[in-house]
Amino acid sequence: MALIDVIKYEGQPGEVVWKFPRNDISTFGQLVVNESQEAIFFKEGKALDVFGAGTHTLKTGNVPILEKLVNLPFGGQTPFTAEVVFINKALVQLKWGTPAPVQVEDPKYMITLGLRANGSYNIKITDSKAFAVGVVGARGAYTQDQIDSFLRPMIVTRLSDFLAEVVLKSGEPITKLNQYLEEASSAGKTKIQPDFSKYGIEVVDFFVQSINFDQNDPNFQKIQKVLTDKFEIETLGGMYQQKRMLDIGEAAAKNESGNAGQGMSAGLGLGMGMNMGNMMSGMAAGQNNTGAANNQNDASARLQKLKSMLDQGLISQEEFDAKKKDILNSI
C-alpha cells in the first residue's frame, strides 16, 4: 500500500472532530488544514503536535514532538505511523433543556419547587488538545449531538445555583423568574464556564429562554396564594379585612349540614349581605368625600379598585356597572 502523501479533512457536516482513516504517513507529505480547524498528531494515544490552518510539509522541524518520540531519520521519505485528528473550531450552536424537573428552593419563602427550563447556547473549542483528550478519546468522529449529550448534564447541574442566585438578587419569589431571563442567562454563563473550560471549551453565549412550573404542585400553589393575598392587601387596603370575612363566611356556608346547617347558612348569608352593603357604602362614602377636588387620576384609581373587586367576585357585574357609572359621572 502506498504511503499517504496528502492528509486533509474529509468529514461530514455536523462533525466537530474527524480522524483521518489511515496512519501510514510519509515524511515530506502534505497536511492540509482548513480555516477554523486544527489538526493534532496522536502517537500511542498521546496528543503531540498541533497544526493550524494552512498547508504544512511534514519535514524536519515541523513535527518536533513526533520526531523526538519516533526518532525518525529525517531527510528522505521515511514512513512512520501516527493518527491525525481534525478539530473544527467554528462556533457550535446548541440547545439545552431539563429532562426532568429540577428541585430549587425559593430563598424567600423556603419552599422547594420543581421547575423546567430550556434555552440555547453557543460554544467554540479553544484548546484542541484538551478537548480531544478529555472529550473525544479514541473515537473516530465526534458530532454536535454528541457534544450536546456531553455538556447538557453540566448545565442542568448548575441550573439550581444560578437561578437561586438571581432570585436572591431580585428579592422576588422564584415563580417570577421569567421576568429575569436576561439576568438568569448572564448568571448561567458565569456558572458553567469553569466546567466547560476544563475541556477546552469557551461559552460564547448562553440563553435561558423559558422557565416553567407545575401548576398542580402544592408548593407552587402555596406561593401563588401568598402572592394573591399580598396583591389583595395592596389593592383593597382597609377593605381587605372585610373581604376576608366574606371568604370565611362563604366557606362556612358551603359546609352546611341538615336544618341546623341551613340555618347557619342563612345567617351567614345575611351577614355576608350586610358586609357587602358596608363595603359598597364604604366605596360610596369614599367617592363623596373626595368632592370637587377629585380629578381624573382619582377616578382612575377608584375604577381600578372596583375592577379588582369584580375580578375577585366581591361584587356582581351589575353592581360594577352601576358604580362605574357613578364614578365616571363624578369626573
Chain-centroid distance of CA 61 in Å reads: 49
Residue 294 has a pLDDT of 45
Residue 47 has a pLDDT of 85
Residue 2 DSSP one-character state: P
Taken in order of first residue, the domains within the chain and their CATH numbers are: 6-63+80-88 (no CATH), 92-218 (3.30.479.30)
Given a contact cutoff of 8 angstroms between Cβ atoms, the answer to whether 44 and 174 are in contact is no
Given a contact cutoff of 8 angstroms between Cβ atoms, the answer to whether 162 and 208 are in contact is no
Residue 256 has a pLDDT of 56
Note the pTM of the prediction, 2 decimals.
Answer: 0.63
The end-to-end CA distance of the chain, in Å, is: 98
Phi and psi angles of residue 330, each rounded to the nearest 5 degrees, phi first:
-85, -10
- Give Cβ neighbours of residue 191 (< 8 Å, ≥ 6 apart): 158, 161, 162, 165
Report the C-alpha gap between 253 and 145 in whole angstroms.
Answer: 60
Phi and psi angles of residue 166, each rounded to the nearest 5 degrees, phi first:
-65, -40
Grid coordinates in use for 155? 448545565
Grid coordinates in use for 13? 457536516
- Give Cβ neighbours of residue 148 (< 8 Å, ≥ 6 apart): 94, 95, 96
Phi and psi angles of residue 135, each rounded to the nearest 5 degrees, phi first:
-115, -50
Residue 149 DSSP one-character state: H
Residue 85 has a pLDDT of 92
Report the C-alpha gap between 113 and 178 in whole angstroms.
Answer: 15
Residue 120 has a pLDDT of 97
Report the C-alpha gap between 15 and 300 in whole angstroms.
Answer: 61
Among 145, 156, 140, smallest CA distance to 85 is for 140
Residue 71 has a pLDDT of 57
Among 93, 2, 5, 9, smallest CA distance to 51 is for 9
Question: 486544527: which residue's cell?
Answer: 38
How would you write the pLDDT of the chain (331 residues) with one tens digit per residue?
455 678 999 988 889 999 998 877 766 678 999 999 999 988 877 888 899 999 988 775 677 766 666 555 544 556 667 889 999 999 999 999 998 888 888 877 788 888 889 999 999 999 999 998 888 876 778 899 999 999 999 999 999 889 888 888 888 888 888 899 999 999 999 999 999 999 999 999 999 999 988 878 888 788 777 777 766 666 666 555 555 566 665 666 666 544 444 444 444 444 444 454 454 455 444 445 444 444 456 667 777 777 777 776 667 788 778 887 777 777 6
